[in-house]
Amino acid sequence: MAAVGSGGSTAAAGPGAVSAGALEPGTASAGNVKHLVLFLHEAVLVQYMDTLKLAVPSLIYTLQNNLQYVAISNLPAATFQVTYQLKILTTALFSVLMLNRSLSRLQWASLLLLFTGVAIVQAQQAGGGAPRPLDQNPGVGLAAVVASCLSSGFAGVYFEKILKGSSGSVWLRNLQLGLFGTALGLLGLWWAEGTAVAHRGFFFGYTPAVWGVVLNQAFGGLLVAVVVKYADNILKGFATSLSIVLSTVASIRLFGFHVDPLFALGAGLVIGAVYLYSLPRASAKAGAPSAPCPHQQPPGQPPPPQLAARRGDPSTEPFLPKLLTKVKGS
């Protein structure tokens, strides 16, 4: 029985063993489809205990998505967008607790700044500076967004720990997450709206606006993967800041949202905190005298063996899909 993973190694060659290069999306030709199916059967069904590990983050992600709808239904879009940045704080805390990751002083300061900004925005919301719809409950919205941030931070760090502690590739893990997420979502739909779906059909109420939201969510997920692969943390921080600004502008235009000085102060602190947290650690020591980098090599010289090995080590970039074209020992 072969156990093939993204690390490019296999335990024992067998009828189901295929090269890892044939297992990446977009590389399976007509002749490799059978091998791909055999691999998925091996990785998802035969190694079911490994698959069951993804049930926990999948359940939490499903819960998080539903909490977001509760939060956005009870908070103005701009307030939700600002408050939802607390996921940076929860992710950082869970990373320290579960992955023993260390944060710089600048990052801790930015997290404190982030919390302060969110608190100011929530104080403005509780003060009732502007009229709100009668069907909105800010307390419920705040509780939902905090629970969503906690679940997002825990699920993200748990998923990262699984990726770093196993040989499965990122696309396989996403497939396993999708299987559990779909099953859990359908179960929740049957529990809450089973009778209505049986009478009116699954797609009842899917207006063009709903389809637009579905497509936007799907496109956003793909876009996040592109940003993680081709951009850096600073650019991602700018994108987050821009999303806050765009949400505020859209709320003003569409819902008559009123921006007062308190909200502007809180949102500004959050945007600044996101930018500071995204800065690489090296920039925090820009004023310190720089020592010669041991990895710098004269032109034409190969890098040191340690650096070359790290560049080829998939564990150094756990969230980026790898195109592995051969199996160890082949």
pLDDT tens track of the chain, all 330 residues?
A: 434 433 333 333 333 344 444 445 444 455 578 887 887 788 777 777 878 888 888 889 888 888 998 999 998 888 999 999 999 999 999 999 998 888 899 999 999 999 999 999 988 777 665 566 667 888 899 999 999 999 989 988 888 888 777 776 777 777 888 888 888 888 888 888 888 888 888 888 889 988 998 898 888 877 776 776 676 666 777 788 888 888 889 888 888 888 888 899 999 999 999 889 888 776 444 444 444 444 444 444 445 544 444 444 444 444 444 433 344 444
Kindly report the number of other CB atoms within 10 A of residue 113's CB atom.
17
Give the containing element (helix H, strand E) for 58: helix 55-74
List the one residue out of 170, 172, 139 whose CA is nearest residue 43. Answer: 172
d(CA 76, CA 131): 11
Contacts of 223 (CB under 8 A, 6+ apart): none
C-alpha triplet 213, 218, 223: angle, nearest 5°: 120
Burial of 185 per CB tally in 10 Å (0-12, 13-18, 19+): middle
Any alpha helices (H) in 75-207, and if so which ranges? 77-83, 86-99, 105-126, 138-164, 170-200
Query: Roughly what angle, to the nearest 10 degrees, separates helices 170-200 and 55-74?
Result: 60
| Residue matched to tokens 């049986």 | 198
